[in-house]
Structure 1
């Protein structure tokens, strides 16, 4: 029987079969096609094998036990973790060059940090390649903490959920196919034309999970694919700007429409938004809207739309876009012809469907994830007297005699009002 060289995952499975499933040594030999000495070695090294599998090294077939190699790996790994904390993107070339410097510092002339070394090093420390996401590394966490512990609770006390709104813009390359692809090794995998058409979209949602029609900003006022009343059945607003970007004029126009709808409904709302210069408007022009600007550079941790709402929309849009491609890919047309035939009106229909399919539950969860909770309570300083006053008011003794109702309202700190109702009945 030809014997096999087991991976660490297979060795871990063998150990579980013997120790947990009570396999006999002979049964393990037959199942994994190994000798009894291999079974014995696996059992003796069970703890080391388990740790290696937990660290993501399960696909390797042997341990690296040379101390000089492990020491060099540990130094390079420590540097990589340091770069991650500082937000520095790392390429293979950058890691290899640093590894060479470390080898020189250790007087390791025999260690040639080549691309082959890098390939084995990746396996040893479970190093992966991927894109960096978001802007968290550049956020001042102290400002975020202050916003979540002091500002958000006050917002949640002063405003009901249905009157708390958040708006933000995002870009959408509405017919861009993925750049990365899976391919069969050693076969041609040349790329194709990349479409760069972009639109900007302004989304607005409230804490209750309600959605406003998104404002779509295109370069052209009336694209060729448009026809009379073609947007009437879509849950969107359409506008145009030379570069398809949001600016102050478009924002004021959108706010005016929103403000007029609030006047009809007799509502006053709080609008949370970022410090983008296009948002800097004359606030007194919109008396039914109270503007609350987020701290600069913190939107990735404080803006609900950035907590996953926009991501959910784009995921659903991409799904519709890809389904359309799949439905036509079996024809004789090339992918460039298929995608090139899509027009902006198609994209707006997918956009409309995708935005409608973003659930209220998703929106509410994103608000909650960033700390906008209904039961939030502000954190007061110990010396402001608020906690003591609240305690005294809560423990007042109330006489129960009919005739008179007295309201006592106590103003506390900057604009906060704590109201207590005292019912006193007189004979």
Structure 2
């Protein structure tokens, strides 16, 4: 029984080596091992010099098929080489950019807009040949100054001198679009996928934990209302978080100072002096004497690598919140007749 499977360039080279390195594997054995037809295995063996040359010239190891048209193969190679060079610089790309570049290359090679269009079909095949996927750009690590990070790491031990690991804290804030529902949906075949207006209601969550992670200070949640309807009959002081508010639901200098004074008072009662690492956000201005605090600012543009809470803690918090939200939506689905009736 023949198999339909396209091997990558790397897999083809592995098959060739299996045949050359004294293994003595027959075409049938190669076909069975790599789950391809005997004809495909024989063709790969016949074109072994071509594939080995491509591999040694650092061609894309994930490529599965080469174009038969030499001129179109040239377009493919030039566009892919250009794409790889730009991605090495962390430059983001969309499909239209890639298609326009292909048209420019084709024009330089003598093609017209009629003979080469860089259609969506061409784009799909190009991405499949080179294992190019479309992903969301996450984080800020591409803008980090690596030399500043190295210098910070070298100076870190001196900043920690005199402090027990249980007295070293890190605080950071994050935005939480707490009513945000999925912007994509699974749908049945031929079903229209429509949605309403997206919620942009936002809270700021301020987290603080110490080095070993076993002690966490009470999280601060900042909303736009001092007494939102959902907290109408609830005493905010009894919440598991500290509820604060301002018109924009952002952390401000006044709110941050109030929090520092509160924590300083708590540490003073415990006769405990702590070291707090924070980033250099504009609202983090120290305009009050703090007897039990030493504050150290993380260097600018390095927080994604130097800020401990940015190394997965905030991400984990949002994942747990999303799990709770998903369960809440499932529970609401039982009674809701439309998406608007699912209250979050």
User: In the alignment, which residue of structure 2 is the partner of 1:178?
Assistant: 182
User: In the alignment, which residue of structure 1 is the partner of 2:82?
Assistant: 79
Q: Map Cα deviations across residues 213-251 of structure 1 (whole Å, 9 max, x no partner).
A: 110001111112224444455421111111111101100
TM-score for the superposition, normalised by structure 2: 0.83
User: In the alignment, which residue of structure 1 is the partner of 2:7?
Assistant: 8
2:27 and 2:270 mapped to 1: Cα distance? 77
Gaps of 5+ in 1: 343-427
TM-score for the superposition, normalised by structure 1: 0.68
Match of 1:275 among 280, 292, 304: 280
1:271–1:290 CA contact under 8 A, matched in 2: yes
* Shift in Å, 1:137: 2.1
1:45 and 1:321 mapped to 2: Cα distance? 55
1:167–1:305 CA contact under 8 A, matched in 2: yes
2:171 and 2:133 mapped to 1: Cα distance? 35
Distance change in 2, residues 1:80/1:37 (3 Å) = closer
User: In the alignment, which residue of structure 2 is the partner of 1:192?
Assistant: 196
SS of match in other structure, 1:169? strand
SS of match in other structure, 1:225? helix
* Shift in Å, 1:33: 9.2
User: In the alignment, which residue of structure 2 is the partner of 1:90?
Assistant: 93
Gaps of 5+ in 2: none
* Shift in Å, 1:90: 1.5
1:216 and 1:277 mapped to 2: Cα distance? 19
Q: Which has the greater radius of gyration?
A: 1
1:55–1:126 CA contact under 8 A, matched in 2: no
User: In the alignment, which residue of structure 1 is the partner of 2:240?
Assistant: 235
Distance change in 2, residues 1:334/1:169 (3 Å) = same
Matched length: 330
How is 1:344-355 mapped onto 2 (pairs within 5 angstroms)?
A: none
User: In the alignment, which residue of structure 1 is the partner of 2:118?
Assistant: 113
* Shift in Å, 1:101: 1.4
* Shift in Å, 1:185: 4.6
Q: Map Cα deviations across residues 136-167 of structure 1 (whole Å, 9 max, x no partner).
A: 22222211111112x21222344221111111
2:102–2:118 CA contact under 8 A, matched in 1: yes
1:85–1:137 CA contact under 8 A, matched in 2: no
1:274–1:293 CA contact under 8 A, matched in 2: yes
* Shift in Å, 1:326: 1.8
SS of match in other structure, 1:279? coil
1:330 and 1:27 mapped to 2: Cα distance? 55
* Most deviating of 80-89 and 155-164: 80-89
2:4–2:36 CA contact under 8 A, matched in 1: no
